[in-house]
Each structure stands twice: as C-alpha cells, then as structure tokens.
Amino acid sequence: MSNRNIGIKDVAVAAGVSATTVSHVLNEVSYARVSQETRNKVRSAAEQLGYGPNRLAQALRTQRTGVLGLLSEDIATTPHAGRIILGADEAARARGYNLMVINTSGSASLESRRADVEALLERRVDGILYATMYHRSVELPPNLGSVPSILVDSVAADGDIIAVIPDEAGGARVAVRALLEAGHTRIGFINNTTEVPSTRLRLQAFRATLTEAGLDGDAAPVESAASDAQGGYEAALRILAGEEPPTGLFCYNDRMAMGAYRAAAELGLQIPADLSVVGFDDQELIAANLHPGLSTVALPHYAMGAWATEHLIDAIEGKSDLPQTAVRPTILRCPLVCRDSIGPPRN
Amino acid sequence: MSNRNIGIKDVAVAAGVSATTVSHVLNEVSYARVSQETRNKVRSAAEQLGYGPNRLAQALRTQRTGVLGLLSEDIATTPHAGRIILGADEAARARGYNLMVINTSGSASLESRRADVEALLERRVDGILYATMYHRSVELPPNLGSVPSILVDSVAADGDIIAVIPDEAGGARVAVRALLEAGHTRIGFINNTTEVPSTRLRLQAFRATLTEAGLDGDAAPVESAASDAQGGYEAALRILAGEEPPTGLFCYNDRMAMGAYRAAAELGLQIPADLSVVGFDDQELIAANLHPGLSTVALPHYAMGAWATEHLIDAIEGKSDLPQTAVRPTILRCPLVCRDSIGPPRN
DNA sequence: CTGAAAGCGCTAACAC
DNA sequence: GTGTTAGCGCTTTCAG
C-alpha cells in the first residue's frame, strides 16, 4: 500500500543514492546508465517504503498530466454515456492516462460549455473528448481548440475537428438485409420525426438496400412518429393497416420497436411468425427484455470512446497528426445483435 | 479564452506588481491588505492576458488538488452510474472540485481494485467515492483508507467507512401503500431470487405494510424468479394462477414488472383495470415506454451521488468528522414515480 | 500596504 | 555510473 508521505528523496536516502538516480531507475530513462546493482537497491527501497510517484509534481515538471478531459453531454439521460466512458477509460488506462469527467448540458449556452472546457484546461488536461449522446452536429466552445480534441458521436457544425460517428447507413443496411435474408419482400420502416442525421441516413439506406435487392425501395411503406414506444405503436398500427401489410418491420430505435410489439399484439400478430421486427440502438434493457428478444443494430459507443481516446493520445504524443485525420469523420460499424424477432415470413 | 502560457508572473509584470500580490488578489486571501487600486490593476491585467490559474501548481503547493476520485463499478451496465456521476459532478463543481472517474469491475480481484485506488492516489485526489451499481456489501481495497472515502449504494463488508444507501424498506412500503390506497386487498409480491439486501428488505417491508393495514402479510402471495422480464413473466403467471388471484402486484424491479405486463396480457388482464402493477428502480427506458406507463419506486442515485460528494468535501475541508457519521449508513428516500399502472380493483 | 525568498516533488541538463 | 543544480507555477511566511 503506497504511502503518501514518501517521496523520491526518501527512496534516495534509503537506497544510498541521489534523487536523480532514483528518478532514472524508476522511470526507466533510456539514456541513463545505472548499474544493475544500484537499480535493484533503488527498486527494493521504493518497494519497502511503499513509494508511489506524485503525478502532480511529475506533471508540473514535464508539462504532461496524463489526464484526458471527457466532456459528456447529458451523461445521465441515456445508458450510452456509460459505454463511451468505459471505452475511453479502458483505452486511456492502457496507456497510463486517466479521465477527468465533466457533465455538460447539450442545451446549455455556449458560454457555460466554454466554462466547462476552461475547468479542464486549468487542470492542464492533455486533451479533450467531447461526447454527445446522440449523433448530431454541435457548435463547439472556441477554447476547445487550445488542446488536442476529438468529438465522439457528433460532428462540428463548423470547422474540422476530428470526430468519430456511427455508420448509420451501414447499420440500417444490415438491419434491412437481415429481413431480406429471412425471406421478406414486404418490408416497412418506422422512422423518427426529428431532424437528426440518423433519421435521414437510415431512411436513405433503407430504401437503397431494398432497391439493390430488386424491390421497389421508393414504394416501400414508411411511417414516422415520435421516437418512443407510443410513437412506434402508432406508426406500426398505420403501417400494418393496409391490404398487404409488411411482414418485416425495421424500426428507427428499440423504443419504437417496443411500441411495434404492442401494436402487433393488439392486431393478433405473432413475432416473428407473422411479423419480423428489427430495432436500432441495442438498448439492452429493452431489447433483451422484450418477448421475443429484439434483434437490433448496436451503436458502437464503446468503440467510439476507445477509438477517440486512442487517437487523442496518439496526437498528444505526436504519433499522428490530428488535422490530417480530420478531413472526414471516422465512421464505425454498427453490428447486428441477433435475438429472436426475425423469422421467415408466413408461407 | 484563457491562454495556457500566461502565468501569475506575467500578470504581475503587466500590472506592475509582484507575483505575491497577484496571488493575494486573485485568491482573495483574507489577511492580505492590498489597495483597491492595485486590486483593479491586477484583475484587469489578468483579464487582458487571459490568465487562468495552473491548478496543478496550486495543488502541488497547497497539497490540495480539488479532485475527487470516483471509482464506479461496472459503469456501463446500468443507467444508474450516469445518475450517480451527475449528482457527484454537480455537487463537486458547486464547490470547485472536479471528478476523476475510473471504472472498476465489481467482480475484479481485490488486488486489481487496489491498483485502481492507487492510480487515484498517485493523482493525489483529495477523497474517493466508491460506487456500486446495486445495493450490496463490498470488500474494499485496503488503500481506500489512506484518504477520506465514502461508499455509494453499498456498505463495507467489514469496518465502518461512511456510506449512503437507498431506503429499500421505505420504497417497498410506498409501493405497497399505493396499491392499498387504490383499494386493493389482495396484493402479491414478485421477488428476486438473489441474495442481496434489497431482496430481503423489500419482502419484509411488503409483509409488514400489509399487516399494518390490517391484512395478513404473512399469507400474502410471493413468487420469486430471476430478476428480468422472463423471470417476472413466470412469477406473474404463477401468482395469478390461483382461485382468487391478487389484483395488485408489487414487482421487485421494472424488468420483472415488464414480464408481469406480458403475463397479464396473455391472461387477458387489463392494466390497471384488472391488475395494478408497481415496479421498483424507475428505469425510465422501461417504465415510461411500457403501456400503460409503469408506476414505480425510484432509486435515489442522483441524490446518493450528491450526498456522498457533499459530505466527502465537508470531511476533506474539515467541516465534519467522517468517522462520526460512519456509525450507520445514511439512508435516502425512494420516492414513488406515478404513471398509469395503478387503479382501483374491479368492483 | 507590498515584495523577496523558500519550497511543494519531481525531471533534465550538465558536470564530475 | 552518479550527483548537482535549476526550475515547472504557485502560495506563504516573513520583512520591510
């Protein structure tokens, strides 16, 4: 158990060497030539005393804190933040970094978000991750630029800060293909009504995938509503009302899929026997607890957090150029998580 | 926008005073007597140059970082972590502190968790919050003791570290009372099977509340199963199978309640007309998206995070004695969140 | 009312 | 091979 009162000096005294030597040995400084014997003495003295480095003092001296700031919007509203933090934390720690987390409100003024960044800068973080809880475009506080920064799950409204986002179109394709491969030819899409990238991108990919499969993508039924269970329920009722209703349903998200389940139940439709359903988001709380389990496309929050952290550290350590990568946001795969809501269409 | 290259010295030069005076003015040191005129000069010079303090250097000098370590178990598995972090972050920032967050695995070895604490200690955090994702007893890494610490949502297996936990019994009472007040007299409980405090405490409170209301608490039907939707479904089918099935159902958590909804639907029971249901946890993703909305008891994660932070800072700043408060864990209220799953029993 | 000097714990030139 | 010295940016006696 490391003793907070032991410094490099105490170790030096105990080992009968100078502080410099202790520093050299403990940090395995490449150019330092210290005899093996001395090294052993130093190490065992450090061990004995329970020495732990004072990262603060190191940071002050080296101008490197080994701390990454994570500004996370609305950290408590979705389970997504947790996955981003986990991905970032694991990637950071693998390289000796730690995370300083600050919650910020997506709806907060630019000024208040500027102050959040400021707090991080005063702590002399080596870089900043700015994470949003859904894929969108953000207006960034100007002081974000004073240190290497990466956007997670969003792109900058202006300018060219490096960013990592989910492959919305790819995710939608995977979802629709799963339905196609199960044999469905009448496939509908229940979409969100709000103006966010995913609304448009998923719809486009939905139609394109059908068309590529030889179906009429443009004619495929689409119903939009609020992106919760109630909206999904209403949209599903509408889309299933026709003469030849779809046998496969792609839903904008898992909450809407949850509503679609209810609509199906009311209409006497069994899932997946009479109706196959695919969701989006992989909100496990919903997807795994619906009956039957909802097959859905996962958003790569963990991967985005890890990717951003990896690359941020590379930039900090001069292993890569941030601007270079910044031209286009990096797009991460959205894999399909198979549960039990997809089956072949009836006859 | 604060300039990272400006130090107290630069401000001093610009204002034509010494660094000491700048420090005195900017920190509003009580015993410092500086003329108003000088103060103004200093402040405007600081403003002009975009000076921001180097918290690292301050910390090294004052032996106070103003950083709290938050060791959160399994941060990504539940949405609970987000609420704890939010509560902690807001409480911390209100007092000038920031959070360094590290994820740790609840199932990880004591040694690996000791290393997590060690990382925090090397950063010289002023105190540590150790948070678990469900109310339980934890074996703590011994080095946690080297700095003021508080447990969030758990109690120490041994020893007397201060802790804050939810009022499980109170929450259960509130839930059962809601059913009672709606007029139900046949009330059942769907419980979890695992050996955690909440399993026992909620059951006890369930029976006690019924008995206090003049019913036979000991005879009230209880069925246990795995704490997910499938378990809730099975337990609900069993509990509703009898001659005179309950008209009100208290469920161990929202996921089990979700299963109970399915069981009710299969049995042709309308909620709340034929069956009233109350959950526990207030997992909004489920509770708000079920139909009808699930009335449920909320766990005070935000409040626990805030409370712990408040008190940790008090202890750090010497405003209270941690040991003193440590005798018994502090218990925070679990309020009922009313939605639409409770109604009067039929006739 | 204001400033000079020392030092928090560490690292990096440079000297020996 | 190892030690001396200076200094990262700040606060805090202590003198004036």
Quickly give A118 CA vs C9 C1' distance in Å: 26
Measured distance CA(B203)–CA(B210) in Å, rounded = 11
pLDDT, tens digit (0-9, with 9 covering 90-100), for B322-342: 565 567 899 999 999 999 999
Structure tokens at A48: 């004995």
Q: Who among residues 33-62 of B has its Cβ near strand D, under 7 Å? A: 53-54, 57-58, 60-62
User: Which residues in chain A touch residue B118, judged by CB atoms under 8 angstroms apart?
Assistant: 2, 52
Residue-range domain boundaries for chain B: 3-53, 67-166+301-332, 168-299
What are the start-end ranges of the E strands in A16-138?
A: 67-73, 98-104, 127-138
What's the sign of the alpha-carbon dihedral B197, B203, B207, B213? positive
Query: Which stretch of DSSP H or E encloses residue A55?
Result: helix A55-62
Instruction: Say how many C-beta atoms besides its own lie within 10 A of residue B110's C-beta.
Output: 11
Mutate to test the interface with B, among A74, A98, A128, A140 (most CBs of B within 10 A): A98
pTM of the model: 0.94
Pairwise CB contact (< 8 Å): B79 & A79: yes
Judge residue B306's burial from the number of C-beta atoms within 10 Å of its C-beta, 0-12 exposed, 13-18 middle, 19 or more buried: buried
User: In angstroms, how far is the first alpha carbon of chain A from the final one?
Assistant: 68
Q: If you ran DSSP here, which 8-state letter would residue A244 be given? A: S
pLDDT at B324: 57
B2 pLDDT more than 70: no
In the three-class reduction of DSSP (H, G, I as helix; E, B as strand; rest coil), residue A28 is classed as coil
Measure, in angstroms, how far nucleotide C3 C1' is from residue A124 CA: 29
CATH class of this structure's domain A168-299: alpha beta
In this structure, what token pair is assigned to residue B313?
């800072």
Tens of pLDDT along chain A (347 residues)? 456 789 999 999 999 999 999 999 999 888 878 888 899 999 999 999 999 999 999 999 999 999 999 999 999 888 899 999 999 999 999 999 999 999 998 888 999 999 999 999 999 999 999 999 999 999 999 999 899 999 999 999 887 799 999 999 999 999 999 999 999 999 999 999 999 999 999 999 999 999 999 999 999 999 999 999 999 999 999 999 988 999 999 999 999 999 999 999 999 999 999 999 999 999 999 999 999 999 999 999 999 999 999 999 999 999 876 565 566 899 999 999 999 999 999 86
Tokens representing A12 are 């030096």
pLDDT of residue B61: 95
Q: Does domain B3-53 have CATH number 3.20.20.70?
A: no
Asked if residue B110 keeps its beta carbon closer than 7 A to nucleic acid strand C, the reply is no
| CATH 3.40.50.2300 for the B67-166+301-332 domain, yes or no | yes
* Contact yes or no for B2 and A121 at CB 8 A: yes
Q: What confidence score (pLDDT) does residue A2 get?
A: 57
Query: What pLDDT score was predicted for residue B182?
Result: 98
Chain D positions with any atom < 7 A from a protein CB: 1-5, 7-13
Report DSSP letters for A102-129, one per residue: EEE-TTS-HHHHHHHHHHHHHTT-SEEE
B67-166+301-332 and B168-299: identical CATH topology:
yes
**Chain A residue numbers touching B261 (CB-CB < 8 A):** none
Cβ < 7 Å from strand D, A residues 23-62: 32-35, 37-38, 57, 60-61
pLDDT (mean) for B40-66:
94
The per-residue b/e assignment along B136-156, b for 16 or more CB within 10 angstroms, e otherwise, is bebebbebbebbbbbbbbbbb
Neighbours of A328 (CB within 10 A): 10
Name the H helices within chain B. Answer: 8-15, 19-26, 36-49, 55-62, 80-94, 110-122, 168-181, 197-212, 229-239, 254-266, 284-287, 301-316, 322-325
CA of B324 to C1' of C6 (A): 38
Q: Tally Cβ neighbours within 10 Å of residue B267.
A: 14
Burial class of residue A290 in the structure, from the number of CB atoms within 10 Å of its CB (0-12 exposed, 13-18 middle, 19+ buried): buried
Which residues have CB under 8 Å from B13's CB, separation 6+? Answer: none
Q: Which of A175, A172, A167, A121 is nearest to A148 (CA)?
A: A121
Task: Determine contact, residues B266/B247, Cβ cutoff 8 Å.
Answer: no
C-alpha torsion sign, points B53, B61, A65, A301 = negative
- A97, A103, A326, B235 from A149: Cα distances, Å: 15, 16, 11, 50
Question: What is the C-alpha to C-alpha distance for residues B295 and B276, in angstroms, rounded to an integer?
Answer: 9
pLDDT of residue B56: 96
The DSSP element (H or E) to which A47 belongs, if any, is helix A36-49
Q: Give the contacts of B88 (CB within 8 A, at least 6 positions apart).
A: B68, B70, B99, B129, B152, B305, B306, B308, B309
